[in-house]
Amino acid sequence: MRTFTAILLLSLAVREASALDPRKSLTQYSRTYWTQESGLPQDTIRAIAQTKDGFLWLGTDEGLTRFDGYEFMVFDRGSGALPDNSILALTADRDGSLWIGTQGGLTHYRNGRFRTYSKKDGLVDDAINALCADPSGGVWMAAGVALVRFVDGKFTTYNPGKDLPITAARAITIDAAGDMWLAGYSRVVHWTGGRFQEAIPPEVMGRMVAFGLQVERDGTLWVAGSTGLIRVTPDGKTRKFGEEDGLPDAVVRALNIDRDGNLWAGTNDGLARLEGGRFVIAPGPDGGQVVRCLLEDQEGNLWIGSNGGLSRWRSDVFTVYGKSEGLLSDEPNAVFQDREGRIWVGFNDSGLMEFLPKRQAFSLHEGLRDTEVFHLGQARNGDLLVATRQGLARLSNGHFEHFVPPDSRCCMTGISGS
């Protein structure tokens, strides 16, 4: 956090709260962190969901946690709310309820009450590894290695090899049309029109174990897994992304496509965002962590669940600029906007630069006599005035003219000696 070593400038174009402004670099978002010291029951966050009432729900290894932005409330096996403390998956339903996948069965939370379904209720396996609610009121889940749909109180099971053209159910997502996509060890399939269609064959998947799926509004499919990312466009073009494309690690556990179309990838070595065909790695504590889940909330903030706790990224009305965003230094002394609208920055150790609209540096090589700039102003004719330790400089048509005030100490010495 460069709170004291960067410039804070009010954004000239304040946007409504949507997603994280894609025009900002990763260092320009405000970041807040929560750990066990803040009240979390455990620092490993495996799943995140937000219900319609605004509550954030976190799945940890020590139970389910509800977060209102200030306090954490924990529900676990000891309280009788859940069959198991290990929460593997969460999904919020359109009716405002929450579905919870545990090692001991499927739990439904609605109107303050928990109800658990297990093998005795017709569930094929109690280990629920993935969950996704569909618009028609059903819930899809990966129960053990099988794919299961629960609707109107009834479980329908699709077993690998027999009903399911995949060796094991691993990751599930629902697209904008309400269709379900499923990834496993060998391929990705698409459930549409009441049947499965192959989306990615084994020869493209290779040895990847899938951990996450996302479908863009235009139909572009993303698969995250043990060997990076796979992207398949609607016209069938395929591209794989790995560490050579900027990912901090080849193992990608979480994906999120926000409402502005930014693609975020959570890996075994931190968070990254896709920018112009390459991934840019997140700075700070979110780098180096095993990122397990990502969520964009109703206000457009990005929530990150990792082995090190919970973090929130927010695009505030204030935009932070520092060396990462093109400044000469993280030690500015003066900021000035001239009558033409140009933004000038004077630094403690790096001279002067025009920062906006273009970026141009002025230092010793350009004729400035000192790199320590204290103050900036403008003359009546539009010339820039620069106060440094060596005196006043006037920038006119790209050239400096220097004015050095007389040394008053010299004059006083002369008087006292007469």
Give the pLDDT confidence score for residue 8 in this predicted structure.
39
CATH topology of domain 323-403: Thrombin, subunit H (2.40.10)
Q: What is the pLDDT of residues 159-168, one digit of tens each?
A: 998 888 888 9
Q: What is 29-314's CATH number, 2.40.50.40, 2.130.10.10, 2.40.160.20, 1.10.760.10?
A: 2.130.10.10
**Closest to 191 measured CA to CA, from 159, 155, 165, 220:** 165
Going from N- to C-terminal start, the domains of the chain cover 29-314, 323-403
| pTM, 2 dp | 0.77
What is the pLDDT, as a whole number, of residue 407?
A: 57
Length of the chain as a residue count: 418
Residues of the chain with pLDDT under 70: 1-18, 316-320, 324-325, 405-418
Is-same-fold flag (29-314; 323-403)? no
Half-sphere exposure in the Cβ direction for 325 (13 Å, CA)? 21
Which pLDDT does position 193 carry in this prediction?
84
Q: Which own/partner contact pairs does 331-338 have at CB distance under 8 Å and 24+ positions apart?
A: 331/5, 332/6, 332/7, 333/372, 333/373, 333/374, 333/375, 334/373, 334/374, 334/375, 334/376, 335/7, 335/9, 335/376, 336/376, 336/377, 336/378, 336/384, 338/378, 338/382, 338/384
